Amino acid sequence: MHKKALVLFSGGQDSATCLAWALERYEQVETIGFDYGQRHKVELQCRGMVLDLVRSQFPQWAARLGPDHMLDLGLLGQISDTALTADKAIAFEQSGLPNTFVPGRNLIFFTFAAAVAYRRGISVLVGGMCETDYSGYPDCRDDTLKALQVTLGLGLDTRMVVETPLMWIDKAQTWQLAHGLGGDALVEIIRRDTHSCYVGDHTTLHDWGYGCGQCPACELRARGWAKYRGEAQ
């Protein structure tokens, strides 16, 4: 019944792993990305690179991989004032949330993704949200996304499934999942060609990938890689 999936693909480790997960499961997979005035365009540049590498190195997946949809959501940058979209340092707000939080971002992303999916005859939306390495973003919660699945289905009057394969696994297990799906070749694409760093550093190559090595996203990625490598050896 659910043969076609649309992956919310940002160009980071999590969504790249979700892309492989979807390519392994669905007959047709399309991708969607959002330009919302991010300060750092490097993540968006990584998207195209990862898609190219998946197409060239995984012929069985290339046949299933359909168009990439890039949406301009510049208005999200206009209505938020965060460390991701404005030139300010990453810090924790009084709410306890880091100021990298764009309020309601995933609600907006999924709603736009559902509109594209509806038009394309796709009934599954795949996202890399996760409660395990929880940064406290309320729009990444399992309950939020389950409620959203119901809302989208009702609002579009069609069955819409929101899949979040990383919801209950940590970053080390995300590397393991990638390895299980695409072996060393996929792990290497994700290590070298995805981007997680909040500061946008894509010049310094560590064993876990490019990044500043200091920001919360880099710390999380480095810790997960070290744990994965420790368990793998």
Q: Would you tell me which residues interact with Zn ion (CB under 5 A)?
A: 197, 199, 211-212, 215, 218
The closest of 33, 61, 42, 52 to 178, measured between CA atoms, is: 61
- At its nearest, how many Å lie between Zn ion and the CB of residue 22? 27
Nearer to Zn ion, 198 or 228 (CB): 198
**Please, which contacts does 180-189 make with residues 24 or more away whose CB atoms are closer than 8 Å?**
181/17, 181/20, 181/21, 181/24, 182/20, 182/58, 185/57, 185/58, 186/20, 186/58, 189/16, 189/50, 189/53, 189/54, 189/57
Minimal distance, residue 227 CB to Zn ion, in Å? 18
Residue number with CB closer to Zn ion (130 or 218): 218
Residue placing its CB nearer to Zn ion in the complex, 1 or 89: 89
CB of 210 to Zn ion, least distance (A): 9
- The residue (of 166 and 215) whose beta carbon lies closer to Zn ion is 215
CA neighbor of 156 nearest in space, from 129, 195, 125: 125
Closest distance to Zn ion from the beta carbon of 135 (Å): 14
